[in-house]
Amino acid sequence: MATLPIAKIGNPVLRTVAGPVDPAVIPTRACQQFIDDMLETMYENDGIGLAAPQVSRSEQLVVMGCDGQEAFPETVLINPRIVFCGPAQVEMWEGCLSVDGLRGKVTRPSSIRVQALDRAGVPLDFEASGLFAVCIQHELDHLCGKLFLDRMTDLSTLTQLKEFDTYWKREPVTVV
């Protein structure tokens, strides 16, 4: 396994709409190795999610996993789609491995239904809520060239890390 370099804001790959993965490619050694490398890169950087464009591959593939307070299982989504959003909204602090040193509050639907392929190429159809739902939405935004900053409706919450630790630390953060 290898840790991959992370594309940072300003890199055009983060603003590019990612193309679908050919399902025939999923079982190949190269694709499985890439998924393992993405997971290692995510864990190494203390993230709970990582999208392929963040490692400069413009493909519809994301990995996620969180064993913290609001734990959710290690998840690989290929060619994912959000097919339903519930009416309730949730506001959470978000950060991004492609945006160093900043946090901001984003409001998103608190429950969603997702369809995708898993890393074995098997179709998934599931509902997610809370932190998992927020993480999925953040990662899927990366696949259409969006960053959490684009989703902020109130830039007054934009915070540098030191100030976050000083003033806002008690609220849960999503770094994805």
- Give the footprint of Ni ion on this chain (CB under 5 A): 96, 176
Phi, psi angles (nearest 5°) of residue 107: -105, 130
Q: Are 77 and 42 in contact (CB under 8 A)?
A: no
Could you confirm whether 139 is annotated as catalytic? Answer: yes
Residue of 70, 94, 127, 139 marked catalytic: 139
CA-nearest of 56, 20, 22, 28 to 41 is: 56
DSSP of 29-86, one letter per residue? HHHHHHHHHHHHHHHHTT-SEEEGGGGT--BSEEEEEE-STT-EEEEEEEEEEEEEE-
* Least distance from Ni ion to the Cβ atom of residue 151, Å: 11
Q: Judged by CB, which is closer to Ni ion: 114, or 140?
A: 140
* Least distance from Ni ion to the Cβ atom of residue 67, Å: 19
Q: Judged by CB, which is closer to Ni ion: 22, or 74?
A: 74
* Least distance from Ni ion to the Cβ atom of residue 115, Å: 21
* Least distance from Ni ion to the Cβ atom of residue 66, Å: 14
User: How far lies 22's CA from each of 60, 106, 150, in Å?
Assistant: 10, 32, 29
The residues that bridge with 167 in the sheet, in sequence order, are none
Q: Are 74 and 67 in contact (CB under 8 A)?
A: no
Active site residues: 139
